[in-house]
Amino acid sequence: MDYKHDVQKWLLLLLLSAEAAFHSLQYIITATTPGIDFPEYIVVGLVDEEQFVYYDSNIKKMIPKTEWMQKNVREDYWTSETQKQDRVQEIFKANLAILMKRFDQTDGVHTLLRRSGYNLDKNGSVTGYFQFNYDGEEFLILDLKTLTWTAAHQKALGTKLKWEAAGDPHFRKHYLDNDCVDYLRKYVEYGNSTLGRKVSPEASLFQKDSSSPVVCHATGFFPKAVMISWQKDGEDLHKDVELRETLPNQDGTFQKRSVLTVSPEELNRHNYTCIIQHSSLEEEVVLLVSDLSGDGGLSAFVHTWLFCSSCSLFWLEFSCG
């Protein structure tokens, strides 16, 4: 019995069952210093990992990114959200300047990011998070169990103490436990037909030339959870494998890749296979590296189309809307 493969299947079932058991709402706000060809302020909202609203300092408008938001939300919502982000943008700019001064920085490109969100499980309970990053590094993280801020950097300690003295963690928790969950339920109701869909992946193997790594790629799938693994002569392989981050596609689906790096001699000596598992598939998909064919250094592709039979900061306002 292949115990490793059985464990892998079990982990996938856990992942997919957890995915179906809750919904999530997340907002990512980024402020960037001026001087580069990039918006100085960006807001991205996601429901169940699908982007549904967007704002940036160039377009100066909060806009829908899904058809279900465009159909279900009145115009006054977009006006209100636009006005709110106009105000918050100024707060982020001011706090970015404060951080640059705190870090003794006078020029260069710098970013302040806030990631906040909450998950709703099938029993109605909510878990949330707030995190601030500066220049890609963790700065402040809210612990909702102890209702304290964790200063991930020494220069964040003063803000931690000030916010805790002002009762800031209690204020944020109140919003998570009350107002925020109503927004999440509303958005899930709006997008239920889309958010609950299952879309099978298109899978491919490709290799630039015989001495290059072999890439196993899955794209166009929904929901987000997927597993890509490798086997060598029928045995699970973990060495020489790099699993990349799952990335969004423009159409709301996702893509993911796993890279196998072994010598050409190893590829010829052994049978390597890539295995893809997703909730939309009744059976796992197996792609054989031996099916790859090269042609004078040109890219070689093996495409397998898969269909399942059923495919039929600081001082921010804390509104969750």
H-only helix segments in 49-201: 67-72, 75-102, 157-165, 168-177, 179-190, 192-195
Residue 168: name the closest of 176, 177, 160, 158 by CA. 160
Residue 25: name the closest of 43, 52, 61 by CA. 52
pLDDT in tens, 29-40: 999 999 888 899
Q: What is the pLDDT of residue 118?
A: 85
Cα-based distances in Å from 20 to 48, 153, 249, 302: 10, 36, 21, 31
Full set of structural domains in the chain with CATH = 21-194 (3.30.500.10), 198-305 (2.60.40.10)
pLDDT in tens, 122-155: 776 778 899 999 999 999 999 999 999 999 999 9
Q: Give the confidence band of 294 by pLDDT, cuts at 50, 70, 90.
A: low
Q: What is the pLDDT of residue 53?
A: 96
d(CA 23, CA 117): 11
CA 234, 235, 241: angle at the middle one, nearest 5? Answer: 115
Residues 135, 110: contact at Cβ < 8 Å? Answer: yes
Q: What is the pLDDT of residue 10?
A: 42
- 3-class DSSP state of 57: coil
Residues 211, 264: contact at Cβ < 8 Å? Answer: yes
d(CA 300, CA 294): 5
Q: How much is the mean pLDDT over the chain?
A: 84
Q: What is the mean pLDDT of residues 189-209?
A: 89
Q: What is the mean pLDDT of residues 278-287?
A: 92
d(CA 91, CA 231): 51
pLDDT in tens, 12-66: 444 444 444 478 899 999 999 998 888 999 999 999 888 999 999 999 999 999 9
